Structure 1
């Protein structure tokens, strides 16, 4: 990786995960700007890059909201960024049309090209055409069709070589009836534990609620289970550090994915943090 400070340009299809990528870079102490006019790219680097004695890490999002004729000049502006002492990297995000359409339906957002009076599928097709030169120019292409938010965050970190020597841990809860997460490294089955679902008072709640926590904490079986799984992970997670592995997913499943697995994932994540793991996240598939 270059010793020069990175200047990451995030681009791609609307709804493909650009906002998640930019937030990930922001969490890694990048100075981030969304929807920068492409012709201002060199000026942005000159301005922000001179704010500190040590040049900061920079990231911008440039997408179809730019003037289309400006997008054609991206190569010369990236070259100008290089002449300013930065290492420019263009990362392009994409996803299948059907997935993009579903994401728009779920969020009820409008496509940025909808003001042309186009149907959503036609707007996506036009966007693909307009952004085709950027995709071919990209240093990294990331397809987010099958990625959740946490997987996308990891891809950004690993593809740009931003991972340090530590291991990133994700504790994910899930419902067995919807299948085991495909990316799980360890899977633990919590269906043998007392189920808060059968308590009418607790049924509408989740493992994030204190009433469910009190119910499970009062069970000897739960305490034994948590202790044994924690001990197993304490023994084996440190052995999974390697030059090629940057993350591990620990999946905990129960019948509905709302109570037992959620609370266990939170408890195991807290235990990992208490034991010195820095990069620890939770993801509750049936809740998030």
Structure 2
């Protein structure tokens, strides 16, 4: 039996993610008091027909004292040979403020003496230990419900390889993705944005690809990133890493980073490495 602990900030999409796991055969329990997690595991293991996959939602609705004991509880479970993984959903504070304002829902930690912004910050502090121990962090700031469901399905529910790899492009002007494990900056390459005939296109289009291929530094940078990943991804996998997210960034996230991401993904696939691709500024 494998226990997937699903946590994250209120408004980041935890309910959607838990429902996606349930749709793919997980036995799901939401808002479980952390102190009852060992008891739940014991009871489920004692079933005549043990469940293969269990997802447990643990978030800031828990008592603060129990959240502070998360590291101890997790270590005890793993010491008892319980197979566990932690999925943490993150989002920028501005996105969370916008979501709560749009839905008019009350944040579970807000109240007469705590504003919504203060509640979001306090929650981040309460969940810091869980986030630090997370096997996979997903930044949902720019994800809609359908995109989040799809990501949970691809990277968690249907994961059939030891290491789930995501290569994503992004624009530095919109901030660094919260879920990045490795970040490569490709802003040193010539920028198609400054060419009027190329500006409307993206790194997926042949016109932009042809422009960047015409500059030797594009190939050299691509080679270096590819060589780094093929050298070190097996080391991550050998050290029981289940998820790695690689972010490729340029200024706007539409041309250079998209081109390098597409070329890198193709080369890794040709080398037999399964992966997922996302373009944050294009896919939304």
State the TM bucket, normalised to the shorter chain: 0.5 to 0.7
Match of 2:246 in 1: 250
Structure 2 residue runs without a partner (length 5+): 31-42, 61-89, 111-129, 141-147
Aligned length: 211
* SS of equivalent to 1:208: coil
Task: Pick one of 54, 58, 63 that aligns with 1:89.
Answer: 54
Following the alignment from structure 2 to structure 1, what is the Cα–Cα distance between the partners of residues 178 and 47? 43
Instruction: Please give the residue correspondences for 1:175-194 in structure 2 after superposition, counting only pairs within 5 Å.
Output: 175-194=171-190
Instruction: Please give the residue correspondences for 1:139-288 in structure 2 after superposition, counting only pairs within 5 Å.
Output: 147-149=138-140, 153=152, 157=156, 166-278=162-274, 280-287=275-282, 288=284
**Residues 250 and 10 (structure 1), Cα distance of their counterparts in 2 relative to 1, 3 Å cut:** closer
**8 Å contact kept, 1:17–1:93:** no
The structural deviation recorded for 1:281 is 1.6
**Residues 277 and 222 (structure 1), Cα distance of their counterparts in 2 relative to 1, 3 Å cut:** same
Following the alignment from structure 1 to structure 2, what is the Cα–Cα distance between the partners of residues 165 and 17? 24
Match of 1:19 in 2: 16
**Residues 10 and 183 (structure 1), Cα distance of their counterparts in 2 relative to 1, 3 Å cut:** closer
* SS of equivalent to 1:207: coil
Which digits, 9 at most, give the CA deviation of each residue in 1:101-146, with x for residues without a partner? 52366xx6x6xxxxxxxx4338998xxxxxxxxxxxxxxxx889x8
The structural deviation recorded for 1:167 is 1.6
- Coordinate RMSD, CA, aligned: 4.6
**8 Å contact kept, 1:175–1:286:** yes
Following the alignment from structure 1 to structure 2, what is the Cα–Cα distance between the partners of residues 225 and 209? 19
Following the alignment from structure 2 to structure 1, what is the Cα–Cα distance between the partners of residues 178 and 11? 26
TM-score by length of 2: 0.55
**8 Å contact kept, 2:167–2:245:** yes
**Residues 168 and 123 (structure 1), Cα distance of their counterparts in 2 relative to 1, 3 Å cut:** closer
Task: Kindly indicate whether residue 116 of structure 2 is the aligned counterpart of residue 121 of structure 1.
Answer: no
4+ residue segments displaced more than 4 Å: 8-15, 60-63, 93-101, 122-125, 162-165
The structural deviation recorded for 1:246 is 1.3
Which digits, 9 at most, give the CA deviation of each residue in 1:84-106, with x for residues without a partner? 7342835226579976552366x
TM-score by length of 1: 0.54
Following the alignment from structure 1 to structure 2, what is the Cα–Cα distance between the partners of residues 243 and 270? 25
The structural deviation recorded for 1:202 is 2.1
**Residues 240 and 224 (structure 1), Cα distance of their counterparts in 2 relative to 1, 3 Å cut:** same
Which digits, 9 at most, give the CA deviation of each residue in 1:238-270, with x for residues without a partner? 222234311222222212221101111122122
Structure 1 residue runs without a partner (length 5+): 26-31, 34-56, 64-78, 111-118, 126-141
